[in-house]
Chain A
Amino acid sequence: EIVLTQSPATLSLSPGERATLSCRASQSVSSYLAWYQQKPGQAPRLLIYDASNRATGIPARFSGSGSGTDFTLTISSLETEDFAVYYCQQRSNWPLTFGPGTKVDIK
């Protein structure tokens, strides 16, 4: 099973600041890495798929990069609605696995 590790566990930032979230895989997943946003009481929402492709309707301030084992989700300038938990997920191997999440909260 491919293990995904996310860092940091919590990121405390102010609106307008840049957020950089990391996801590391225990073995190569090529570019088959997705990112999701989840707000309290809501279902997750797909943000980025295949490492760098924004999903439909996702603002341009969200971007993804990386390949192999190291991936980054960047939020260029945090809006109030971006404070949430972010998960990465690999689809390279079965079983599909998620990272434990990074919480982005308001400083």
Chain B
Amino acid sequence: EVQLVESGGGLVKPGGSVRLSCSASGLSFSHDWMSWVRQAPGEGLENVGHITNKGATDYAAPVKGRFTISRDDSKDMLYLQMSSLKIEDTAVYYCTRGSGRGPLYHFDSWGQGTVVTVSP
């Protein structure tokens, strides 16, 4: 069974930084594309970005240049470094696994989420 467990969320001031972690088990982590999806309070889902199994990354426009996704395959860990945080980055952040043949991916496994609140 795939398990994804996020940690590192909390209260951060605008302009601040925080690093989220995701511990993965039950999957061939080094072979998988991994992604972060966020959900602002009362809102829908937004893909933040992904990292391929080869370490290439891509990001959604609202976070590009501020967020960095990385991975440590030796520890089955995924990270999201968030910098220059804005109030609108307040959300639940989900660690997800990307799956599917062909272009890009859908999200077949999700963590329980970690809350990041950006407030003065």
- Residues of chain A at the chain B interface (Cβ within 8 Å): 32, 34, 36, 42-46, 49-50, 55, 87, 89, 91-101
B72 near A: Cβ within 8 Å? Answer: no
B94 near A: Cβ within 8 Å? Answer: yes
Known: A91-B102, A95-B60. 20 other contacts (CB 8 A): A32-B102, A32-B104, A34-B107, A43-B94, A43-B111, A43-B113, A44-B107, A44-B110, A46-B107, A49-B106, A55-B108, A87-B44, A89-B45, A89-B106, A91-B100, A91-B104, A91-B105, A92-B104, A94-B58, A98-B45
**Which one, A96, A100, A101, contacts B104 given CB within 8 A?**
A96
B61 near A: Cβ within 8 Å? Answer: yes
Chain A residues near B112: list those with CB within 8 A.
42-43
Q: How far is the CA of A45 from the CA of B4 in the complex (A)?
A: 13
A34, A55, A87: most-surrounded residue (chain B CB, <10 A): A34
- In the complex, the answer to whether B47 meets A96 with C-beta atoms within 8 Å is yes
Q: How far is the CA of A95 from the CA of B63 in the complex (A)?
A: 12
Q: How far is the CA of A61 from the CA of B43 in the complex (A)?
A: 27
Q: How far is the CA of A94 from the CA of B44 in the complex (A)?
A: 18
- Residues of chain B at the chain A interface (Cβ within 8 Å): 44-47, 58, 60-61, 94, 99-100, 102-113
- In the complex, the answer to whether B44 meets A98 with C-beta atoms within 8 Å is yes
- In the complex, the answer to whether B106 meets A46 with C-beta atoms within 8 Å is yes
Q: How far is the CA of A82 from the CA of B3 in the complex (A)?
A: 23
Ranked 5 nearest A-B pairs via Cβ: A34-B106, A43-B110, A91-B104, A96-B47, A98-B45
Chain A residues near B106: list those with CB within 8 A.
34, 46, 49-50, 89, 91
- In the complex, the answer to whether A50 meets B100 with C-beta atoms within 8 Å is yes
Chain A residues near B100: list those with CB within 8 A.
32, 49-50, 91
**Which one, A49, A95, A100, contacts B47 given CB within 8 A?**
A95
Q: How far is the CA of A51 from the CA of B22 in the complex (A)?
A: 29
List 19 A–B pairs whose Cβ atoms lie within 8 Å, in order of A's numbering: A32-B103, A34-B107, A42-B112, A43-B110, A44-B45, A46-B106, A46-B109, A89-B106, A91-B100, A92-B103, A94-B104, A95-B61, A96-B47, A96-B104, A96-B105, A98-B45, A98-B47, A100-B44, A101-B44
